[in-house]
Structure 1
Amino acid sequence: MAELVYRPVIGAARTMFKALDLKIDTQGSEHIPKTGGAVLVSNHISYLDFIFTGLGALPQKRLVRFMAKESVFRHKISGPLMRGMKHIPVDRNQGEDAYAHALQSLRSGEIVGVFPEATISQSFTLKSFKSGAARLAQEAGVPLIPMALWGTQRIWTKGRPRNFSRSHIPITIRVGEPLEAPTDQYAGAITRRLRERVQELLEAAQRAYPVRPKDASDTWWVPAHLGGTAPTPAEVRELG
C-alpha cells in the first residue's frame, strides 16, 4: 500500500533538521531487519523521540508504526498525520485494543515502535520498563530491537521551552542487536534484559556525544549522576 502521508512527513522532518543544522549520528541501523515484524524499543527523553527513532530504521528502508497516546490522534493537526502514517492510538482505559492493533501489525510484517517507560523521563535516566513490548514480541514471534537516543531533550522536552533555532545540536542514535523473546520465558525477565540493553546503548550514546555543557546555566540536560543539574529520579517522583 502506498505511503501517501508517511514519506512526505519524513521529507519535511529532514528538511527541518537540515534547517536547524542538527548533527545526527546514527550507528547500528544494520540491526533493523529488512523484512518482517519487530518491536523497536527506545528510551524516551523528548517529545520528538518518535521521529528520531524512526530515522534509525530508515537506512533499512523500514517505516515504524508507533504506539502513542490517543489524545495525539484527536489533535486537529497531528491527528490526521498520525492516522495517515498508520500509527497506533493507545487509550489507557482500553489498552487491550491498542495491544491487539499492534499485534496485528507485527504479524503482518510491520515494525512497531514502543517507549516502554510510557512517559518522558525528566531525569533523562531510564525509568522502569512496562512489559508490554516483551509480551507483544513473544505473542507475535518477532525480535525486540533495543535503541537509545541522546541529545533530543535539548530540542524539546517536558518542562522546557522548545529550541527550534539553528542551534547545531548533536543527536546520537544507537541501535543494538536483536533480542529474542521466547514464549517459554517470563515476560518480566525478558523486559529486564531489554532494559539492560537499552541502558548499555544509552551509556554508549552519552560517551559518544560530542559536546559538553557550555557553562553552568547549560547543565540542565545532563543527568545528575553525570554532573548535570537535571532532577534526580527521586526528585521527579516527589514533584509528582
Structure 2
Amino acid sequence: MSDVTYRLVIRACRGVFRVLGLRIEVHGDEHLPTTGAVVVVANHHSFIDFMLVGLVGTRRRRFIRFLAKQVVFDLPVVGSAMRRMGHVPVDRAHGEVAARQALRALQAGEAVGIYPEATIGRAFTVRDRAYWRHGAAHLALATGAPLVPVAHWGAHRVVTVGGRISLRRGTAVQVLVGAPIVPRPGENAEQLTTRAHALIEAMVESLVAAYPQPPRDPGRAWWWPAIRGGAAPCPQECGHLEEAVVRGMPSVRGAGVSRQVRARGRESVR
C-alpha cells in the first residue's frame, strides 16, 4: 500500500496546527507498538480528533487506518484521499464489509483506529458505557491484537458539533496514550470494552483535571464539562440526541468474522 497521500495529508495537518498555533502536548506515545497489529481506540469530541490520534501514529512512524462513516468517502476529493490512505468506510447497510476490511488490515500488521463512542460526545466527557460499540473489542479478540487507548482533550474548543469553530491561537490540546490492553483468556467483547471504557474515562478525567487553560468563569464556558460546573450540556441531556445520530449505523460486531477467521487472525499476528 502506497502511503504518499498519507504523508502529504500529515504535512497538511501539521500546517493547520501551526496556523492555529495549537499548544499540543503528547504523553505516553511510547505505548503504541512500532510494528504489528494493533487496535487504537479513542474518545471523540471534535472533527479533528483523527489528526491527534494520527499524530501519535506518526511519532511512532506508523500510519493508522481509521474506520469512518461512508458519507466521508462520498465526498469528491476527501473520499479519494481517504481510500488512498487506507482508511475503512463504514456503510450502514453493509457493516460486515468494514469488519472484513479492518480484519484484513490487522492481519497485515496494520494499526486500525476506531472510535467506540460512534459519534462526537457533546458533553465533552466520555460517553456512558451503555453507548459504546463493541467492534474494536471484537477485532482485538479475533486477531489477538492489543487495544491501545488514546485520550485527548481540548480540540473541541477549535471545531466541534453545533457549528462551534474558533480560530483563536494558542489553544491547549492534551493527548495521553495508555498502556496496551491485552485480551485476557476467556474474555468476551463486552468485558474487554468495559475495561477499555473505564481506562479511557479515567484518562480523560485526568486530562481535564490538569488542563492548563481552565475557564475563568466555568458557568459561561460552553466547552467546559457540566460535571465541573461548566456550561456544556450534561451527559443525560446529550444521550438521546447522540444516540439518534448513531441509530441505524452498522456495527463491526463480529460481522464476517467466523471462528476460522479468528484462528487465522491469531496466527497472522504472532
Normalising by the smaller structure, the TM-score range is over 0.9
Q: Deviations over 1:143-186 (max 9, x none)?
A: 000110100111111113322x2421111000000001246212
**Contact 2:70 2:91 (8 Å CA) reproduced:** yes
Any conservation in 1 of the 2:42–2:116 contact (CA below 8 Å)? Answer: yes
| Structure 1 contact 38–106 (Cα < 8 Å) conserved | yes
The aligned residue for residue 134 of structure 2 is: 131
How many residue pairs get aligned? The number is 239
TM-score between the two structures when normalised by the length of structure 1: 0.95
In structure 1, the residue corresponding to 2:67 is in which secondary structure?
strand
Is residue 218–residue 224 contact of structure 2 (8 Å, CA) maintained in 1? no
Partner residue of 2:76? 76
Question: 2:239 corresponds to which residue?
Answer: 237
TM-score, with length taken from structure 2: 0.85
Task: Indicate whether 1:186 and 2:188 are aligned.
Answer: yes
Q: Note the residue ranges of structure 1 that are not aligned, 5 or more in a row.
A: none
| Equivalent residue, structure 2, for 1:88 | 88
Shift in Å, 1:17: 0.6
* Residue identity opposite 1:110 in structure 2: E
Distance 2:215 2:107 in 1: 44
**Residue 141 (structure 1) shift:** 1.2
List, as ranges, runs of 4+ consecutive aligned residues in structure 1 with deviation greater than 6 Å. Answer: none
CA contact (8 A) 1:88 1:101 kept: yes
- Mapped contact 1:19–1:166 kept (Cα < 8 A): no
Identity of aligned residues (%): 41
2: CA distance, partners of 1:182 / 1:140: 13
Structure 2 residues without counterparts, runs of 5 or longer: 245-270
In structure 2, what is the equivalent of residue 203 of structure 1?
205
CA distance in 1, matches of 2:124, 2:77: 28
User: Amino acid of the residue matched to residue 236 of structure 2?
Assistant: A
1:134 and 1:183, CA in 2 relative to 1: closer, same or farther beyond 3 A? farther
2: CA distance between counterparts of 1:208 and 1:44?
19
Q: What aligned pairs does 1:218-237 form with structure 2 within 5 A after superposition? A: 219-237=221-239
Of 150, 174, 177, the match for 1:175: 177
RMSD: 1.5
* One-letter code aligned to 2:155: T
Aligned 1:1-240 pairs, distance under 5 A: 1-127=1-127, 128-163=131-166, 165-182=167-184, 184-215=186-217, 219-237=221-239, 239=241
Q: Per-residue deviation at 1:205?
A: 1.4
Residues 177-210 of structure 1 show CA distances to partners (whole Å, capped at 9, x for unaligned) of 0001246212101110010110111112112311
